[in-house]
Amino acid sequence: MIDISSITGSRGRMLPAFVLLFCLLLPGCDRQEGGGPPGRSEPEPEYQGTIIAVGDSLTAGLGIAEEDAWPALLARKLEGEGYNWQVVNAGISGETSSGALGRIKWIAAQQPDVVILETGANDGLRGIPPSVIKENIGRAVQQLKEADITVVLAGMQMVQNLGPDYTREFAEIYPAVAGEQGVIFIPFLLQGVAGEPALNQSDTIHPNEDGHKIIAETIYPYVLQAITARGKSN
């Protein structure tokens, strides 16, 4: 038996008995607005696939809000074009290629469909031998491929003050790995952004919000290529 005296209205007044009875008899009256059971949130969307962006501060979005970094912008662009794909930002500021390689098995264990791999810039700034960087990136790509993950490799370039030989050898890393491993290749992640004061923060290295918008546009067609390679479309 329900104790009617214990049920009050929104301002502390007792609800009339007939109102309570009517509500109990009316199907769905005891549910929250929208027809769902009380206390339950909306279900998570069913994504067609998952993309994980693995990288350093250029991916993490150092100095800007996460929603303004290129992985978030890429997700919104995909959604706007009818591709219901989840994009996860797994960027870690300061990470080197050895650090990226060290967590590739964990990334693969998440079973993404696509991984966008952006790494090596911090290695270059530290003068790490290009052969070491190439080995790390090559092993990372190989492990992802062995896990049946489609890889999009983002190419990078190095500042000129390290000398022409180092700059050239560094730039050659990415097309070499992409060619050897047969993966989708973005020639230069920062195309149209690097060296442009209006598109970078005061450190002249990290893109600002406008710079990240351009990066997202640069990456987009290669991601569509990866989605097609997975046999999943909108």
For residues 56 and 121, is the Cβ–Cβ distance under 8 A? yes
Q: How is residue 110 written in tokens?
A: 């998440």
Q: Nearest Cα to 86, choosing from 63, 58, 60, 112?
A: 112
DSSP string covering 33-87, please? TTSPPTT-PPPPP--SEEEEEEESHHHHTTTS-GGGSHHHHHHHHHHHTT--EEE
The answer to whether residue 113 is catalytic is no
- Establish how many alpha carbons lie within 13 A of residue 58's alpha carbon, considering only the half-sphere containing its beta carbon: 28
The answer to whether residue 165 is catalytic is no
Distance of CA 123 to the CA centre of its chain: 22
From 5, 10, 165, 203, the catalytic residue: 203
For residues 144 and 151, is the Cβ–Cβ distance under 8 A? yes
From 56, 57, 113, 123, the catalytic residue: 57
Token pair 């919000």 in the structure block, residue: 209
The answer to whether residue 206 is catalytic is yes
Q: Angle at Cα 216 formed by Cα 72 and Cα 198, nearest 5°?
A: 105
From 97, 113, 123, 206, the catalytic residue: 206
Catalytic residues: 57, 203, 206
